[in-house]
Amino acid sequence: MKIFNYIEGELPILISIPHNGARIPPQVAAKMRPAALTSVDSDWHLDRLYQFAGDMGCHFLIPEFSRYVIDLNRSSHDDSLYPGADVPGLCPINQFDYQPIYRDGGEPNVDEIARRVETYWRPYHDKLSETLQSLSSRFGYVLLFEAHSIQSQVPRFFEGVLPDFNFGNFDEKSSSEGLTQLVKDWRPEGYSKVFNQRFKGGYITRHYGEPLKNIDSLQLELSQATYMNESTLEYDNVKAGKVQLQLGSLFQSLAQFVREKTKND
């Protein structure tokens, strides 16, 4: 069973898209409510949106399965990233709008959660860690870019409409001063941008970012209103083309930063 897709690149930049998957294995789907089978809360189409970064030489790690099966951006022990906040768990039992994911009595128990950790979570994280260490050893520096997206309005998590570009690096702990300044200085034309506000970076950003060891990590939570039709979940080529110009500008800056780091280090 294929758990993830790894696409090798040339630059020491790894793009992880942990919520891009939408597949649900039959044994799990059988216990779910029909409305949950569409996996509506996935980070839709990001593999397509970021294709340009592959042409630039970035590596990709993309899961096959839905965050409803297991959330790869949480600790395997399900530690809370935002204490006191209402957030889904490692194996969520309700959707972002509080609709139940499972039929009555179908929620995963402790044994089932442990099985999913070993089957889906651990292989992804093993590959993530292995790739970062390999690139770090080869180049002396590596950048982990966590690509995420979310509906522009999710009352459960934030009030009103979300800004377009939501960057996070765990309050500047998961990336170096130089990368932090680059993101602070970068301005998307025609889009709003915030840094370390509602989204400060999830488990992957926080856990793998070790700037003192020349491993920087950065998360971008992109509003889905910038590149898709939120009501139909369809990719919008016109919207996507416009926001790709800005993402391309960002990645040109990131690639130049990485080249300078690897040259100097």
User: What is the model's pTM?
Assistant: 0.96
State which amino acid sits at residue 237.
N
Q: From residue 29, give the alpha-carbon distance in Å to each of 48, 65, 70, 183, 228.
A: 25, 12, 13, 40, 26
Measured in whole angstroms, the distance separating CA 167 from the mean position of its chain's CA atoms is 11
Query: Which residue pairs from 226-229 have beta carbons closer than 8 angstroms and sit at least 24 positions apart in sequence?
Result: 226/164, 226/191, 227/45, 227/49, 227/149, 228/44, 228/45
Given this model, what pLDDT does residue 265 score? 59
What are the residue ranges in the chain where pLDDT is below 70?
82-84, 264-265
Domain 4-264, classified CATH 3.40.50.300, yes or no: no
Domain-by-domain residue ranges, the chain? 4-264
> Rounded distance, CA 183 to CA 50, Å?
18
Given this model, what pLDDT does residue 86 score? 77
Given this model, what pLDDT does residue 263 score? 85
Which pair of structure tokens corresponds to residue 86?
């209402």
> Rounded distance, CA 170 to CA 205, Å?
7
Given this model, what pLDDT does residue 264 score? 66
